[in-house]
Amino acid sequence: MPEKKIVVKFGGSNLKRKEDLKNILKVVKLYQQPIVIVVSALYGVTDMLVKALRKVKNDEGAISILKSGLEESHRQIIDLYIENQTIKEDTLGKINQRLDELEKFLRGIHYLGDIPDFVEDRILSYGERLSALVFTALLNNENLPCAECLPETLGLFTNGEYRNATVDFALSEKIVRHFLSGSQIYVVPGFYGISQDSRVTLLGRGGSDYTAAAIARCIDASSVDLWKDVSGFMSADPKVVPNASIIQNLTYNEAAELSYFGARILHPRTFEPLIDRDIPIRLFNITDFTHDLKPVSIVSNKGVISDSVIKSVTFSDDFGILRLHGAGVGIKPGIMAQVTTALNKQGINIKSIVTAQTSINILLAHEDLHTGLNISRNTGLTSVDHIEPIEDITVIAVVGNGILETPGIAARMFTAVSIHNINIRMISAGASNEAIYFIIAKHDRENAIQSIHDEFFNSKGDSKKNICLSPLQICLSPKPPKRPKSPKKPDKQRRNNNDIRK
């Protein structure tokens, strides 16, 4: 039986400097076996494409500026690293060919004065298309037999949804497995797949992680190895908590919750294709590796419950609340359905909903908040008195397998926050077995995260501490030991004490 392949993904964060490619070449050679490599665009290229999309509608000159900029940045890498003249000329020719294709789509936008969805997805895929050419050339130059495979050639089919497509595994698995069955290295551009009618559909921003996971499922890989420029998952963002520690083992669900609530290590959908196949995700730090393939974090079904249960405290500022006020809105039938249907029709994703008798609170991405506000106001909700957008908030999540089954976790968390007089605006627990989240004002974020981290990771004897919630004084520690009895006092002294108490 042939050895299972490994899917290895290099992201844009690995490609900030031309010198970073030396590390990537070292990493590829460490595997000493044929692997499937998924690549992101060079650092900053996708942002260049996004900005150009908006400019070219009114400024035709922006097309040539973008094209020359992309050509120059990729040529510099080729000139620096590729010595083989044949490979160099062939690669530069292919890059210019793809840039000519890109130019045609950009001119189409300029003449139309509009950006059709299928054209936008196609244009934004060119960052990965160009970097895949460069990677393939680099490896061939190092005498590592390598072939580029575009998703449209590979047969990586999606459900056809633009900007945030899902891979259709029923259509893709057999085709992808067959295509990648050879004994050479394959380089696949991430971030996009192909619809059944042959149109490019993006897999969401940062979707190259998802591409790697999808391919791993299709070929039944032994692991998905993701090379980042950070030390895997950590107990908190080290920029906020300098003494944060690395988490060596997480479950898929723990990692998914951390990614959803702001830990920008992995695309939140990376785990979907892997869970039922139990294909582990191994995270490596490309800025800090030796001569072995030792991951800093592993995500699998074999998570480890820590002594404190909590694995990490994370946060996201990318939330806003759409609050619908009105007497009885929480129980009146149809209100929530009307709003959510209207938002869904406009492609706005609802991140969470928390209801009460007099309000419905809908959590949206901050960029969608004011669009969602206008949509909701035009929905004709007769039972809603007014709709309020709430901004400048942070969602903080405490994540760990077993968090809901362990008494006292929530109390310790909120007590730690109360020390800094931080007002908690909203709390949600029970939606997930791995996470409790709450909402506070953004300016309180650092104090809250540091305090929670100190409580669960830096304090001694956590399980023995008396932790009470003011003003209810709900004590969550074991009962305090009984005080030792004092020696009996002489009768006369006891009588005197009794006189005093009277």
For the chain, give every domain's residue range: 6-303, 315-475
pTM for this entry? 0.85
CA-nearest of 315, 313, 402, 328 to 359 is: 328
pLDDT by residue (tens digit) across 210-225? 999 999 999 999 999 9
Distance of CA 133 to the CA centre of its chain: 26
Residue 306's pLDDT band, with cuts at 50, 70 and 90, is low
pLDDT of 287 reads 83
Neighbours of 97 (CB within 10 A): 11
Average pLDDT of the chain, as a whole number: 88
> Residue range 382-395: average pLDDT?
93
Q: Show the tokens assigned to 120.
A: 């936008």
Tokens representing residue 147 in the block: 């072939």
Residue 123 has which token pair?
């244009």
Please determine, for residue 488, whether its predicted confidence score (pLDDT) is greater than 60.
Answer: no
Q: Check residue 459 and give its pLDDT.
A: 60
- Residue 314: both structure tokens together: 């994370």
Q: Compute the distance between CA of residue 373 and CA of residue 1 in angstroms, rounded to an integer.
A: 58
Q: What is the DSSP letter of 44?
A: T
pLDDT over threshold 90, residue 496: no
- CATH of range 6-303; options 1.20.1300.10, 3.40.1160.10, 3.60.70.12, 3.40.140.10: 3.40.1160.10
Percent of the chain with pLDDT over 90: 69
Q: How far apart are CA 92 and CA 74, in angstroms?
A: 9
* pLDDT of residue 317 exceeding 70: yes
- pLDDT, one tens digit per residue, over 167-216 is 999 999 999 999 999 999 999 999 999 999 999 999 988 899 999 999 99
Judge whether residue 444 has pLDDT over 60.
Answer: yes
Q: CA-CA-CA-CA torsion for 284, 288, 290, 296, nearest 10 degrees? A: -30
Matching residue, tokens 């085709």: 175
Residues paired with residue 437 on neighbouring β-strands, in sequence order = 397, 428
How many angstroms separate the first and last alpha carbons of the chain? 90
Q: Which CATH number fits domain 315-475: 3.40.50.620, 3.40.50.2020, 3.30.2130.10, 1.10.10.10?
A: 3.30.2130.10
- Average pLDDT for residues 85-114, to the nearest whole number? 96
Q: What is the DSSP letter of 462?
A: G
Looking at residue 291, its pLDDT comes to 74
pLDDT of residue 493: 43
Whether residue 233 contacts residue 16, with contact meaning beta carbons closer than 8 Å, is answered with no
What are 101-117's pLDDT values in tens digits? 999 999 999 999 999 99
Reduce the DSSP state of residue 69 to 3 states and report it. helix
Residue-wise pLDDT for 11-20, tens only, equals 877 776 666 7
Show the 3-state SS of 352-375. EEEECCCEEEEEECHHHHHHHHHH
Q: How high is the pLDDT of residue 347?
A: 85
Domains 6-303 and 315-475 share a fold: no
Under 8 Å between Cβ of 188 and 179: no
CB 231 within 8 A of CB 296: yes
Decide: helix, strand or coil at residue 279: coil
Residue 433 pLDDT level (bands cut at 50, 70, 90): confident
- pLDDT of amino acid 318: 93
- What is d(CA 223, CA 276) in angstroms, rounded to the nearest whole number? 14
Average pLDDT over residues 1-30: 84
Distance CA 73, CA 78 (A): 9
Buried b (16+ CB within 10 A) or exposed e, 422-438: bebebebeeebebbbbb
Going by pLDDT thresholds of 50, 70 and 90, the confidence category of residue 484 is very low
Helix (H, G, I), strand (E, B) or coil at 182: coil
